[in-house]
Amino acid sequence: MPDYETFEHDVLVIGAGGAGLRAAIEASAAGVRVGLVCKSLLGKAHTVMAEGGIAAALANVDERDNWKVHFADTMRGGQYVNQWRMAELHAKEAPDRVRELEAWGAVFDRTKDGRILQRHFGGHKYPRLAHVGDRTGLEMIRTLQDYGVHQGIDVYMEHTILCLLKDGDRVIGAFGYERERGRFKIFRAKAVVLATGGIGRAYKITSNSWEYTGDGHALAYDAGTELTDMEFVQFHPTGMVWPPGVMGILVTEGVRGDGGILTNKEGKRFMFDAIPENYRAQTADNEEEGWRYCQGDKDARRPPELLTRDHVSRCIVREIKEGRGSPHGGVFLDISWIKQKMPNAAEYIKRKLPSMYHQFKQLADIDITEQPMEVGPTTHYIMGGVRVDPDTQMTRLPGLFAAGECAAGINGANRLGGNSLSDLLVFGKRAGEFAAKFAKENSLGKIRKDQVDIVAREALEPFERNDGENPYAIQKDLQEAMQNLVGIVRNEGEMHEALERIGNFKTRAEKAAITGNREYN
């Protein structure tokens, strides 16, 4: 096809976060040619922003932990609407994926006897999160990239995919453009893996990077496969609320795992007032027991600050709506209080939470070793996504696979912290393995040039309009509508209004205009 630059691979992976890199590594190890397309630069995927750790029942800190307990925690946290087979595979295989990452060079925090250290996190019965301070996602991506760069993978940075290409029902590649020059490109492949992350940028307040615009969800849906559980959006309880320019930036759950407490403007630890019945037996009913748990007392129960994210977020919203919030519309998260319990508290906080210390010092002029943080819920993760086979990660369209946040099933109605990073490793590996197997059993499909021409023409239409609306204005209005109408607490009337507005946004988007030329547009 002379009109478009064309590349051929056995397996094409779209997305270069944890799931995409792991899929590409596994497919390449199977002896097939692999192409990896990423929207920004390699190493800039949203996975680097993950902080707390990788959930895996290694049982290094508490020998009572095992995959069955992890499975039970995941199912209960997801309100038992999880795809049980995915939750089972995840719990069973996560320990091996973490050890594998360690063998590839990941430098985890250590126990005194040299094993991988694990920390407490919300909804997990035992300390389960393997971590690197509060920069675990960054270390994961560094390790996967350092290992993967030697596997012969072709990487296409700063490329945006516009559509998946099909031959009948089978997916046979993708069509997109290079963002730097705006040139169109065709990627032919025997199998395609979607690993594009989430949809957080549909909301005004989010912890997600600019890349998280639901690309994989849209690509899969437009190609004709199913999305499921899309109503389940997770709002992380603790994002920054002040100053306005940093609103939504994540404050890791590790702060609470290391002893941080949530208080309202009256200084009350309000989480003790709302412990769900199905968690009551596992949750401390007094402050002293909660502190002992954070310090590793195996006979203590977890503090209520470490209940599941959906519950903690609702409790914070309740405090704010009832007038007990902090000055800037959040609540207080305080780790500095532990100086009452240990003489070297400041050094402990800086060692365990180095990113949080620098984040608040630089962005909010707050020393978290001395002052409480102001936090509030931030859009963080979508449990819904592409419906996949739990064992192979293939969609109902032959040749199309999905892994990571853009795939649905493992988390049900709510994700436990730390399960995302292990999900990326477990199902990224499986997607790459079975995509390679599919590629070996099938040949390249036949691409229809008329299908490509239509998509290319539609992509260029905004450049030809002189009186259309700026697309950023439409995106801003979408984010406002989603934030105000489809947030943590929803009702039927507001959701109907949101649907009406989204229909209007679609009409506006069809008439949008872009100024300038195709470079970086």
> Cis omega (within 30 of 0) on the bond before 243?
yes
Amino acid at 467: D
Between the alpha carbon of residue 311 and those of residues 123, 318, 327, the distances in Å are 10, 11, 23
Asked whether the CA dihedral 157, 474, 206, 314 is positive or negative, the reply is: negative
List b or e across 222-249, with b for residues whose CB sees 16 or more CB atoms inside 10 angstroms.
ebebebbbeebbbbbbbbbbbeeeebbb
**Helix, strand or coil, per DSSP, at residue 159:** strand
Catalytic residue among 128, 256, 301, 415: 256
Q: Helix crossing, 136-148 with 84-103: angle to 10°?
A: 70
Catalytic residue among 236, 292, 309, 387: 236
**Helix, strand or coil, per DSSP, at residue 245:** helix
For residues 235 and 208, give the distance between their C-alpha atoms in angstroms, rounded to a whole number: 11
Q: List CB contacts of 101: < 8 A, sequence separation 6 or more.
A: 54, 140, 143, 144, 425
Residue 124 among the catalytic residues: no
For residues 119 and 62, give the distance between their C-alpha atoms in angstroms, rounded to a whole number: 10
DSSP per residue over 204-225, as a string?
SSBSS-TT-S-HHHHHHHHHT-
- The continuous run of DSSP H or E covering 185 comes out as strand 184-194
For residues 103 and 385, give the distance between their C-alpha atoms in angstroms, rounded to a whole number: 31
Residue 256 among the catalytic residues: yes
Catalytic positions are 236, 256
